[in-house]
Structure 1
Amino acid sequence: MHLTKRAAILASALAMVLGSSAPVRVHPHVFAEARLDVMLNPDKTVKSLRHLWRFDDLFSSTVLMEFDKNADLKLDDAELQDVSNTVYASLAEYDYFQLVTADGKDVSMKPPPTLIANYEADQLIILFESEPKEPLKLTGKVDFGVYDPTFYTAIDFVEDENMAVNDLPSTCKRSVIRPDPDEAIAQNQSNLTDAFFNDPSGTDLSKIFATRLELDCQAEG
């Protein structure tokens, strides 16, 4: 399902729960198509996550207008660095939108040492790489995803192949989980309070809608 269509379904599902009083800010305003590459060490622990986000034309043009200081309708190196610094600082309090769990428990990630912004074919592209704070072994169920806890940005993976693992061990099975918005809301109805919809950033529940790469790994015998 294409990103914008899936985001629209999510917004519609939320509106059905809330009724006509749903605040506008729970609907995504910015859309990005993503790629995630899980890089492994020789011992099959997770080395890093490599992220690439390609933003929609409307948001990208807004960035161009805001950061094109010399008004030449392009972003030079200095202007792109300003974009990088702004995005880097903005994402810091949200752990760079990363979702990583091992057997259902959150895995802490180091902040990326740097973030790169490019502007190609009228689209803003963001790239960064981050590492687990502690060694992360591929045992049991390990999940990786990207989500904005404020619901302002919809970041999704158009193709399952856009969530990849380099040299996936034979002891692991890979699957891409795309939660159905209606089912996710129904399963978590008791936790979706008015406070969540009035201020999604005050909760961690928006992760229930995130597309996830799930690795189900058995111990080597």
Structure 2
Amino acid sequence: MRLSAPTTILASAAAAFLATTVPAFVHPHVFAEARLDVTLNPDKSVKSLRHLWRFDDVFSSTVLMEFDKNADLQLDDAELQEVANTVTTSLAEYDYFQVVTEDGKDVAMKPPAQLIANYESDQLIILFESEPKEPLKLSGKVDFGVYDPTFYTAIDFTEDDNMAVDGDLPAGCTRTVVRPDPDEALAQNQSKLTDAFFNDPSGTDMSKIFATRLELSCKG
């Protein structure tokens, strides 16, 4: 992965964070607890997805060591902006780890206008908001998931309430958080998987079958 920041750790930290060419099928190296909020327009269309990721202490301390240019053991606004810029560049290649589908068909998302990095209680926090490229009405089944296609980063929604619709769920809609069982996901998609997937998951998007996702089913 090419990174814009001239730093050595982002070759190990951001590369580890956001995908390397090293397959890590069942062994994530970076961990984040996440929250996803789907915001809606009055016409029951999707306005945006709001993401919050809180990274593990080990990765967070690595980022601190690299970006703390004045060695004061904290990240000031300029240093946090450099983190945000580097993460933005790295995530863009992987659609910001988002997967959105409408009745099984992929939905294109706009890049976030801004990505914010914070450092609180010894943890790196990433926040951003993205919008569908085209109007996306809640009709039929719409799924929202977050996953790293290389399996290097584990994005974990520890509670079902951490994947939610902001505000009231529209009438006629139901909400379900789906947590695929890896063995079942493999069995159900065996015909679609190839040797290339197992040898290098980064070369395929089939890893999304393992993603925890928010499923909204709506009538009309």
TM-score in terms of structure 2 length: 0.87
Partner of 1:212: 213
Normalised by the length of structure 1, the TM-score is: 0.86
Once the two structures are TM-superposed, the CA of residue 197 in structure 1 deviates from its matched residue by 2.3
1:84-123 mapped onto 2 (5 Å cutoff): 84-123=84-123
Aligned to 1:178: 179
Alignment check: 8 A CA contact 2:97 2:149 kept:
yes
Q: Which residue of 2 aligns with 1:126?
A: 126
Please say if residues 23 and 200 of structure 2, whose CA atoms lie closer than 8 Å, have aligned partners that are also in contact.
no
Query: Aligned partners of 1:92 and 1:24: how far apart in 2?
Result: 20
- The match for 2:10 is none
Distance in 1 between residues matched to 2:74 and 2:91, nearest whole Å:
24
1:40 and 1:192 map into 2 onto residues whose CA distance is: 35
Partner of 1:144 in structure 2? 144
Alignment-derived partner of residue 43 in structure 1: 43
For residue 74 of structure 1, give the secondary structure of its aligned residue in structure 2. Answer: coil
Q: Distance in 2 between matches of 1:192 and 1:156?
A: 24
Query: Aligned residue for 1:198?
Result: 199
The alignment partner of 2:24 has SS state of: helix
Distance 1:142 1:153 in 2: 24
Which residue number in structure 2 is paired with residue 76 of structure 1? 76
RMSD of aligned Cα (Å):
1.1
In the aligned structure 1, how far is the partner of 2:66 from the partner of 2:156? 25
**More helix, by proportion:** 1
Deviations 1:167-201 (A, max 9, x none): 21021000000000111122223333331122211
**1:132-152 deviations in Å (ceiling 9; x for gaps):** 000000000000010011111
CA distance in 1, matches of 2:63, 2:209: 29
One-letter amino acid of the structure 2 residue matched with residue 211 of structure 1: T
- The corresponding residue for 1:34 is 34
Quote how far apart the aligned CAs of 1:24 are: 5.9
Q: Which amino acid aligns with 1:209?
A: F
Structure 1 residue 69, shift from structure 2 partner: 1.1
CA drift at 1:125? 0.3
Letter in 1 for 2:140: G
Q: Distance in 2 between matches of 1:198 and 1:65?
A: 33
**CA distance, structure 1, for counterparts of residue 90 and residue 54 of structure 2:** 17
Identity %: 83
Q: Which amino acid aligns with 2:114?
A: T
| Gaps in structure 2 of 5+ consecutive residues | 1-21
Residues 83-102 of structure 1: CA deviation (Å, up to 9, x unaligned): 00000000001110001000
Moved over 4 A (4+): none
Matched residue of 1:25: which SS? coil
- The one-letter code matched in structure 2 to 1:191 is K
1: distance between equivalents of 2:194 and 2:135?
36
Give a deviation string over 1:92-147, Cα, whole Å, max 9, x none. Answer: 01110001000000000000001000000000000000000000000000000100
